[in-house]
Amino acid sequence: MVKKIENHFGRIDVLINNAGFGLFGTTEETTEQQARDQMETNFFGSLWVAQAVLPIMRQQKSGHIIQISSFLGLTTLPLLGLYNASKFAVEGLIETIGSETAHLGIKTTLIEPNGFATDWAGASAVQTSSDIADYNPVRAAFAESGDNPDTWGKPEATVEHILNLIDNQNPPKRLLFGKIAYQVVNDVYKKRLEEIENWKEVSIAAHGH
């Protein structure tokens, strides 16, 4: 498909990598096949498409890889363990590609949305079993948190901002989409920095010299 696009247009300026689906359920209840399917789509799907496009961008000495990640590549929610893990992996992958290709004129941006009103949590989602009763309180709290419609962003509101991102000559490495993502990640990073400082002496002492 990438070769067909190159043959038709002569170049590829932008890749928007958006392969992904939601896998809902506790980590303990997730089967091996469900875990592999999640990583195959969310992580390896993004890797293979990036690898297919990179030779073209490298030859033309320009390009912009925009990876749809998630704010759950920076923090976690219960019942989304493998999804969280796949997005953490994608974050590391794209950040590394960016550091490897910057001198070739290739840019990378991780878009990190909160939940949006798409099929991600609906028709395209996969559910693990839910037969371990000890997790029922976690499931109940998770379901309640998703009942507020204000939690979910509007997909159509992102279009203008993605187009502006493409036109930007100095795009960010990461870009949060949604007010929930902004609030949650801002709070998470403040707490992480505080914890790093609280344990600074141990961190330095563990170096050994």
CATH of the domain at 14: 3.40.50.720
Q: For residue 69, indicate whether it is catalytic.
A: yes
Give pLDDT, residue 129: 87
Residue 205 in domain: no
pLDDT at 122: 77
Active site residue 4: no
pLDDT tens sequence across 106-135: 999 999 999 998 888 778 889 998 889 999
pLDDT at 52 (0 to 100)? 98
User: How many Cα atoms within 13 Å fall on the side-chain side of residue 130?
Assistant: 12
Domain assignment of residue 207, yes or no: no
Query: In what helix (H) or strand (E) does residue 35 lie, and over which residues does it extend?
Result: helix 32-39
198 falls within a domain: no
87 is catalytic: yes
How many structural domains compose the chain? 1
pTM of the model: 0.93
Structural domain contains residue 96: yes
Is 194 domain-assigned? Answer: no
Taking all residues of the chain, what is their mean pLDDT, rounded to a whole number? 95
Catalytic residue among 70, 86, 87, 107: 87
Q: Which of 32, 29, 17 is nearest to 70 (CA)?
A: 17
Residues of the chain with pLDDT under 70: none
The C-alpha atoms of residue 20 and residue 77 are separated, in whole angstroms, by 17
Catalytic residue among 83, 86, 107, 135: 83
What pLDDT is recorded for position 121?
Answer: 73
In a domain, 104, yes or no: yes
Task: For the chain, list the strands marked E by DSSP.
Answer: 14-17, 23-24, 63-68, 106-113, 126-127, 174-177
Q: What is the pLDDT of residue 44?
A: 98
Give the residue numbers spanning the domain of 64. 2-180
Query: Which pLDDT score is estimated for 162?
Result: 97
From 46, 69, 70, 86, the catalytic residue: 69
